[in-house]
Structure 1
């Protein structure tokens, strides 16, 4: 039964259609997998009970009646900053340790309306901005190497999918929080365009930088989930109508796609294994018909610092009501809030002006290319004890390095997608990030799908949870 969790969304739907398995069997398999591996990984905060049982039973009936919805019976998880009525949303904080949600987030309602079965709420850093060593729930470990961190802040979401608890999850991303853990756990993670997915029912952090999006093993699965959670919600003031359908297919030969290769900033701090995998990624796509072209983003070196300034300032405002409980916060959270509280109104406005400048530069770059490709993170997953990343043997502070590429998308609002490209010598995943114009998620997902049809990196299972059937040699097909 545990092997059922290794199926992707398409395989599950086909197995349901033929009657080979049922949603109730898959739910039981998912719970069994959590029980087997989560003592080591600590990815899950809450296993959903009656709500999941009812949903799986309803999905089984719909399949029997021939009335399936797009994600009928597909198990999924959510980051524990996303509300579900009647369940606790801890946000990884002692302050919210007993906070019972009074409503269900829009993204959860949409996923469930499409037939998906909510299995679990997953661990996060405190309020999605604290450090790896969560004060309430502890750190989430990486299935590729349990001595390492899975990444933040959608820590549990990434570890759960990599460990095959279920095929998809919903996380949030204010500085790389979907993409960094997806990168370090060998997954496909999408930070959508600002406003493309509603944040209603998600614990607020930063209205400028934060988005909600899918994590999955494949681009096709990420697209399936994104398709049902995207779109306008009148309760979210940033929400926007999504202009078109998501089509995760791309013909690289019929109408060649041009990939932008950015200037040196994104490679100045980059481990050789990550850089080599990036080069191989481009080579695979060039052979398939894609074109590459150099692009320049002059202000990119400032994006991480300015983005953090905006994020920390807005987060400090969001958490001002808990100022009398500083002793309950994670020390990393306190340091970041302190930085935000020290930001003057003039500095905050200058940061927003810089945001516009960076958006303009990206707009110019996208006039010549369909997307820009860059390393997702400078290194593979960090050691949990040292909290440093290793770049060619040199140890760098985790917080200075992890968002060098990802904050670009949060500050400007453009979509970013990461996908696995190989492994370093220690066997930890490497990754590439694709950045595209607003509301062009379909092009990014299509390019990721094209690469995944030509390679097999996304199908390899971490050694911790691999069975003999899934522990194949990774690489090009």
Structure 2
């Protein structure tokens, strides 16, 4: 038995369909009742509406259409291991606009492999079998940040490897294999913007070799001047810290996320990863500003024409200090109020070596003339829990391909397959965190319902207010970034003759090294405060010979990225991090 569609006259929904639809909502409709007849009619009418939209051609947003590049056709290739020894490149290309001069002229840029670059595949670090038609789609659009980089004269050199579905804090879950740290291969680069961290740090490693400070001769491949990473819980700052570069998660909504694969609009951020403070300021100015599409932007987001010139601001501040005779190792930070966040040094799993290095770096500000004091924000201890519960229920929407609640450009060409046994079998021993997110969301719904997430959202406001209160007395807060010095990649995650796919059979070997990695970073994703990792020293690796960089997180009041740049640049007057 069926009732014909009101618009086409063709049968669509049957009584079996109606029963299944009701069952999905945890109720049943009495067979043979007038309710059954009426709701079957409603279902057919609604299905006709669905078909009307389904039959429409896809709409191409004009603001996201790619501009013609030098050479016309956009070409790319996947580099082999000889060209890509760190596995940091996903795809390589050379894209620049013809006859364009701008602040990024002559600079090379890589973008995380979740950012849309027209003509290039978007890989997400995942197996193609998780996506529609079993292949990575080719993007028809340029993300807003890509368009702005090209318009500023930059050269896009390709996409950088990222962790599987952007859901891991270390660098061994990508479907293409581990991403090696440029300072010490076989050790973590950090995730999920792992390739970005490795590619930007290559030039510093090469310079260290020229200066005789690093005699190891392992191959590195081609790097880039700058990179664009993504950060939902620390995914810019963590790899920046492990790689010895600067990584900035800007104020939420300052840089449009349009054209970038999302996890949750509440926590999605994109930002610069660079070797210098000045380059971070420059790239932020190019990328920032309202684009009229991204719902993460707010009335506080500046129009592109009103975006601060962060580099000019920094240089003007330095010039003023130079004229006052203050740009010295005794006075460069004079006038800055620095807060050392007490609870950030009490998080689970913090390596004493990391704690000591960051505290020593923080205390340098005193010798540079800043006012330095310890700041206590007790709720910081709960920041990671609040982030988890507030954000977790919506993160499966990304995996399932569902759009967010607010209007956005949803990248319709990027369609995940439904979550099923294939999803579990593909990821359980490659990236267990991605499976765990789904399990967590189901657990919350089953045991607590939506009330727990609502409560967490209320506490986000409390957490934001607590940080805001602290910024009444200090300009920046300082914390560790990663809790440990970069760990060695788990043996089961490295591809070999015995393990050609690089898939670990010991799940906890993958999961354990990442536990606690985001305890000091993820809270600022839900509160929206700008936070930057800056390199401040070295730490010895635990299970081998060598050392790796240690980063310090600098956090400022929302929309006050200028204070991050000033604090970081003044710290450098006391000595470069690599010389420590």
User: Do the two structures share a fold, i.e. TM-score over 0.5?
Assistant: yes
The runs of at least 4 aligned residues of structure 1 exceeding 6 Å deviation read 34-37
Given candidates 128, 145, 153, the residue that maps to 1:107 is 145
> How has the CA–CA distance of structure 1 residues 366 and 37 changed in structure 2, closer, same or farther, with 3 Å as cutoff?
farther
Mapped to 2, the partners of 1:387 and 1:435 lie a distance apart of 36
Q: 1:447 to 1:265 in 2, by over 3 A?
A: closer
Q: Deviations over 1:364-400 (max 9, x none)?
A: 1111100100111111112211699xxxxxx993332
Residue in structure 1 matched with residue 112 of structure 2 by the alignment: 79
C-alpha distance in 2 between matches for 1:99 and 1:406:
32
CA deviation after TM superposition for structure 1 residue 305, in Å? 2.2
The answer as to 2:287 corresponding to 1:172 is no
CA displacement 1:398-451 (0-9 Å, x = unmatched): 332211110121121101001111101331111100011101111101211122
Tell me the CA shift for residue 200 of structure 1: 0.3
User: Aligned-pair distance for 1:287?
Assistant: 1.4
Q: 1:122 aligns with which of 155, 160, 164?
A: 160
Q: Which residue of 1 aligns with 2:443?
A: 342
1:417 aligned to 2:532? Answer: yes
Q: Secondary structure at the match of 1:454?
A: coil
- Equivalent-residue separation in structure 2 for 1:450 and 1:37 (angstroms): 40
Aligned equivalent of 1:464: none
The aligned counterpart of 2:367 is 287
Match status 1:226 vs 2:284? yes
Normalised TM-score (structure 1) = 0.81
Superimposed CA distance per residue, residues 49-101 of structure 1 (whole angstroms, 9 cap, x where no aligned partner): 4xx2x54xx3xx56xxxxx3111121100000000112100111223442111
> Is it true that 1:381 corresponds to 2:381 in the alignment?
no
Q: Name the structure, 1 or 2, with higher relative contact order (CA <8 Å, separation 6+).
A: 1
Secondary structure at 1:181's aligned position in 2? helix
Which residue of 2 is the match for residue 256 of structure 1? 335
Query: CA 1:423/1:255 → structure 2, altered by over 3 Å: closer, same or farther?
Result: closer
Distance in 2, Cα, partners of 1:348 & 1:288: 44
* 1:327 equivalenced with 2:422 (yes/no): yes
When residues 210 and 365 of structure 1 are mapped into structure 2, their CA distance, relative to the original with a 3 A threshold, is: same
Measured in 2, the distance between the counterparts of 1:386 and 1:172 equals 27
Select the structure of larger CA radius of gyration.
2
* Residues 37 and 450 (structure 1), Cα distance of their counterparts in 2 relative to 1, 3 Å cut: farther
Show structure 1 runs of 5+ residues with no match. Answer: 1-23, 25-30, 63-67, 389-394, 461-473
Distance 2:102 2:224 in 1: 18
CA-to-aligned-CA distance 1:11-62 (integer Å, 9 cap, x gap): xxxxxxxxxxxxx9xxxxxx9xx8787543100000014xx2x54xx3xx56
The answer as to 2:561 corresponding to 1:441 is yes
Contact 2:389–2:456, Cα closer than 8 Å, also in 1: yes
2:570 alignment partner in structure 1: 450
Q: Where does residue 27 of structure 1 map in the other structure?
A: none
Cα separation, partners in 2 of 1:135 and 1:182, compared to 1, 3 Å? closer
- Alpha-carbon deviation of 1:244? 3.8
Aligned to 1:465: none
Q: For 1:157-186, what per-residue CA distance to the aligned partner results, in whole angstroms no more than 9, with x for missing partners? A: 001111131111001100000000000011
Q: 1:295-344 CA deviation, whole Å, 9 max, x = no partner?
A: 12111111112212333322112222433445244222112222123323
Does the CA contact (< 8 Å) of 1:278 and 1:432 recur in 2?
yes
Q: Which runs of 5+ in 2 are unaligned?
A: 1-69, 71-75, 204-222, 322-330, 402-416, 494-509, 541-545
Distance 1:326 1:309, change over 3 A: farther
What residue number does 1:156 align with? 195
Report the CA distance shift for 1:122/1:345 in structure 2 as closer, same or farther (over 3 A).
same
Q: Which among 194, 198, 207 is matched to residue 256 of structure 2?
A: 198
The yes-or-no answer on 1:133 pairing with 2:253 is: no
Q: Residues 116 and 36 (structure 1 numbering): CA distance in 2 closer, same or farther, change over 3 Å?
A: farther
Cα root mean square deviation, aligned: 2.5
Instruction: Normalising by structure 2, report the TM-score.
Output: 0.67
For the residue of structure 2 that corresponds to 1:81, the secondary structure is coil
Cα separation, 2, equivalents of 1:387 and 1:316 = 27
